[in-house]
Every structure is written in structure tokens, then in C-alpha cells.
């Protein structure tokens, strides 16, 4: 059985669990709610916010709506990226043009891989060298804290306890003073660096410089850079620099617009576990991602077909990197969390017919979205990984 089929089999659990004992605890007055169903599904995190139902179901609905929005965006992004690569390699669009959704994605990405292989095989003597700059996903700490507050039904937590925190080393933001950890330039900009540079170093390179000499480098630096860097600079131990970009780690003053580029840690007080899990899934699903900039250099005589492929890769690889790497695992984790939460809502759904119907609708939506996320991540990793393996 394929990995995708295993995922579908696993993900089918919550719909079955929610179907157990559907009438338990439901009074005759709730029959109208069941007949009317849940309000028309909306793929956003505000779905169900105004309903007078159990807070756990409302949190689950919000997270499911956010995951559906993310899944739709991932399908659209990966499909567009694969179409760009497939068309650049002259693949037959009749193989995917009549399909929709995940089926279209799978078909066009398979054609993109075939076209990619054919062009590279015909240009085996040409070396491709890629420069990847930037790229990040940001989860809102403010939104996490607000969601945590909704899970504090007994009002036992203080605002400070509900404050969202980020796993060590993943807190980031604008630092107006000195940064300790890493400093990443905005695309097209540079930052001061005393450490390893992920892109172009201008200054002294304590290692091998791809352009210029060790004391006057203007290219990739295989070693440590002492000057400016156009990508991410991992600072040396105890080093601090003025960071005109995004600082990750510690700032000598309070961060401006802080966000988390990793997992958000639970609050220090006790909240309803299922509600809090839905919150985390919602915040991860709503993380804002910025694609990296990809530049590919050709070394050797290249055909017009390879040049067209390079243009397509520079345009479309960033979305595949975001989906398959930057956002992929967090999205998969969010889907699995919602599957688990959906299986635990039995007590919440028996409070009213409305809660029952809405929870079932949300579980079905989360199930479908989880499968779409899996398809998007697998396709991104496949075509993106193939490209990465062929480009230095």
C-alpha cells in the first residue's frame, strides 16, 4: 500500500469516531439543529466563531477552517509550479488540463518530472549552480496567546501565563540594536556578518571564496565571512552584530514584531488540552511564509530548452521549497493534531445537536484537507528534491 493510501486509511478515523453514539445525550429539542445542519462551511479560522456551542467544538472548527484554507493554497501553489516547469519542458498539457484539485496536481507534477529529466539528460555536460536566498515561515505569537485565552474557560490563568512562547532559537523579529544568533537579510539586501554566510559574502572570507580572494571576497564563501552577507548569517559564538534584517535568537533590546519560526510552546497554566491542541494547529496552519529567491547559473554550453527550464526553475522552485520544506512538516503535524482532537470530542458534541453536526462537518473538512496537504508535500518534495539533486 502506498504512503498516500496509508495516510488516507489513518485519517479516516475521526469521521468514524464522531459517528459513535451520535444520539447519546441529545434531547428532542436538538432535532431541529441536526436537521438544519451547520452553517455553510467557510474555509477560514472564523468559521463557527459566533455559534453558541461548546468552546472545544468552536476551536476545532476554527482550526479545521484554517487547515482547509492552507490545503487549498498548497494545492494551487504546487499545481502552478509544476505547470510552469512542465510547459517550459514542452510537455503535453492534455495530460492534466481536464483534471481538477489533487488529481490535476499529481498529473502535472508527474509530467514536470518527466520533462525535467529529459532536458537534463540532453544537456548532461552542463553544470547548474544554484543560489538560494531567504525564505521563512512565521507563526504569530499574538494570535497564539489570543487563542489560548479562549481555552481558559475557568478564568484561572493570568495574561502573562497565557503569553505564547517560541521554542529556543526560533524566536525572530526586527532588532534595532545588536543581534546574537543569526541575522537574515531581506531578499536583495545585505546584513553585517561575522560568521557563516549562506549566500554572497562581501569582505574577508576565512576559507574558499568563489569570486575574488580571501581578503576581498565577492561571492560564496566556504568558511566564515567577515563583512556583509546577502543571505542568512549564522553568527559566531558570542558574536553580536547590528542586524538590518530578521534576527533569530537574542536581541539586546526587545524584539519588534516578534514571531516564531518553529513550534509555539504551551502556556504555563493548565488549559483544556483539546482546545489548546486545536489552537496550535490553527496557528501553524495560518503561518505566513515568504518564498526564497532562487538564482541558477549555467556553466557550459546550454541548449535553448535548458535555458527555458532554468527560467522556470528560478520562478517556481521557491513555491516548491516553501511547500515541501518550510511549511510542509508543520502542515502535516497540524492535520494529525486535528485528527486526534476530532477523535476526542465525544463529550463536547453531546452538548447539543448543533455541536454534533458542526463537529462532524469540521472533522470531514479536516480529513479532506489533511489528504490534500499530504499530496502537496509529497509532490513538492519529489520534483523539488529532484531539482535540488541535479543543481549544485
SS3 317: helix
Burial of 15 (0-12, 13-18, 19+ CB in 10 A): middle
Confidence of residue 281 (pLDDT cuts 50, 70, 90): very high
Taking 60 as the threshold, does the pLDDT of residue 12 lie above it? no
Rounded to an integer, what distance in angstroms lies between the CA atom of residue 131 and that of residue 239?
26
Rounded to an integer, what distance in angstroms lies between the CA atom of residue 342 and that of residue 318?
33
- Residue 227 exposure: Cα atoms within 13 Å on the Cβ side: 22
Confidence of residue 264 (pLDDT cuts 50, 70, 90): confident
Q: How many CB atoms lie within 10 A of CB 183?
A: 30
Confidence of residue 370 (pLDDT cuts 50, 70, 90): very high
Contact indicator for 324, 23 with CB cutoff of 8 Å:
no
**64 backbone dihedrals φ, ψ, rounded to 5°:** -65, -40
Q: In this predicted structure, what is the pLDDT of residue 268? A: 86
Rounded to an integer, what distance in angstroms lies between the CA atom of residue 212 and that of residue 219?
7
Mean pLDDT, the chain, rounded, equals: 84
Question: Which one is predicted more confidently, 353 or 223?
Answer: 223
Q: What is the DSSP string of 79-120?
A: HHHHHHHHHHTT--GGGTTT--HHHHHHHHHHHHHHHHHHHH
Alpha helices (H) along 227-352: 273-285, 304-321, 328-343, 346-349
Helices 55-88 and 328-343, interaxial angle, to 10°?
Answer: 150
What pLDDT digit, counting tens, does each position of 105-143 carry? 999 999 999 999 999 999 988 888 888 877 888 899 989
Q: How many CB atoms lie within 10 A of CB 135?
A: 20
Q: What percent of the chain has pLDDT over 90?
A: 41
Cell numbers at residue 169, please? Answer: 532559537
Ranking 49-53, 94-98, 329-333, 351-355 by mean pLDDT, the lowest is 351-355
Burial of 92 (0-12, 13-18, 19+ CB in 10 A): exposed
Dihedral class, residue 169 (left if φ above 0, else alpha if ψ from -120 to 50, else beta) = left
Rounded to an integer, what distance in angstroms lies between the CA atom of residue 334 and that of residue 286?
10
Ranking 26-30, 156-160, 363-367, 387-391 by mean pLDDT, the lowest is 26-30
Ranking 156-160, 199-203, 204-208, 261-265 by mean pLDDT, the lowest is 261-265
How distant, in Å, are the alpha carbons of 144, 249, 269, 275 from that of 280?
7, 22, 15, 9
Taking 80 as the threshold, does the pLDDT of residue 305 lie above it? yes
Q: In this predicted structure, what is the pLDDT of residue 29? A: 42
Contact indicator for 297, 129 with CB cutoff of 8 Å:
yes
Confidence of residue 184 (pLDDT cuts 50, 70, 90): confident
What pLDDT digit, counting tens, does each position of 185-215 carry? 876 688 889 899 988 899 999 998 988 888 8
Amino acid at each position: 500500500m502506498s504512503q498516500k493510501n496509508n495516510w488516507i486509511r489513518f485519517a479516516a478515523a475521526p469521521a468514524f469516531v464522531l459517528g459513535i453514539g451520535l444520539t447519546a445525550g441529545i434531547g428532542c429539542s436538538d432535532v431541529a439543529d441536526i436537521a438544519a445542519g451547520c452553517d455553510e462551511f467557510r474555509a477560514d479560522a472564523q468559521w463557527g466563531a459566533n455559534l453558541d456551542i461548546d468552546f472545544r467544538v468552536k476551536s476545532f472548527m476554527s482550526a479545521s477552517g484554517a487547515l482547509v484554507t492552507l490545503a487549498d493554497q498548497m494545492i494551487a501553489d504546487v499545481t502552478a509550479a509544476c505547470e510552469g516547469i512542465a510547459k517550459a519542458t514542452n510537455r503535453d498539457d492534455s495530460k492534466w488540463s481536464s483534471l481538477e484539485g489533487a488529481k490535476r496536481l499529481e498529473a502535472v507534477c508527474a509530467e514536470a518530472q518527466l520533462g525535467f529529466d529529459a532536458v537534463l539528460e540532453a544537456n548532461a555536460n552542463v553544470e547548474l549552480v544554484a543560489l538560494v536566498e531567504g525564505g521563512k515561515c512565521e507563526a504569530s505569537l499574538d494570535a497564539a496567546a489570543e487563542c489560548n485565552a479562549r481555552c481558559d474557560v475557568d478564568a484561572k490563568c493570568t495574561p502573562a501565563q497565557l503569553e505564547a512562547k517560541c521554542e529556543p532559537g526560533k524566536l525572530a523579529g526586527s532588532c534595532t540594536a545588536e543581534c546574537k544568533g543569526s541575522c537574515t537579510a531581506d531578499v536583495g539586501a545585505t546584513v553585517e556578518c561575522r560568521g557563516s554566510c549562506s549566500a554572497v559574502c562581501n569582505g574577508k572570507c576565512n576559507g574558499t571564496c568563489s569570486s575574488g580572494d580571501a581578503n576581498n571576497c565577492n561571492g560564496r564563501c566556504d568558511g566564515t565571512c567577515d563583512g556583509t552577507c546577502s543571505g542568512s548569517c549564522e553568527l559566531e559564538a558570542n558574536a553580536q552584530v547590528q542586524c538590518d534584517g530578521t534576527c533569530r535568537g537574542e536581541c539586546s533590546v526587545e524584539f519588534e514584531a516578534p514571531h516564531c519560526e518553529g513550534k509555539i510552546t504551551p502556556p504555563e497554566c493548565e488549559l483544556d488540552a483539546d482546545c489548546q491542541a486545536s489552537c496550535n494547529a490553527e496557528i501553524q496552519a495560518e503561518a505566513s511564509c515568504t518564498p526564497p529567491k532562487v538564482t541558477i547559473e549555467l556553466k557550459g554550453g546550454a541548449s535553448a530548452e535548458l535555458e527555458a527550464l532554468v527560467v522556470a526553475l528560478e520562478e517556481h522552485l521557491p513555491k516548491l521549497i516553501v511547500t515541501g520544506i518550510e511549511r510542509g512538516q508543520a502542515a502535516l503535524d497540524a492535520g494529525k493534531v486535528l485528527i486526534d482532537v476530532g477523535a476526542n470530542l465525544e463529550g463536547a458534541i453531546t452538548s447539543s445537536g448543533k455541536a454534533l453536526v458542526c463537529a462532524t462537518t469540521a472533522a470531514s473538512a479536516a480529513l479532506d484537507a489533511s489528504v490534500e496537504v499530504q499530496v502537496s508535500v509529497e509532490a513538492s518534495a519529489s520534483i523539488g528534491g529532484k531539482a535540488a539533486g541535479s543543481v549544485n
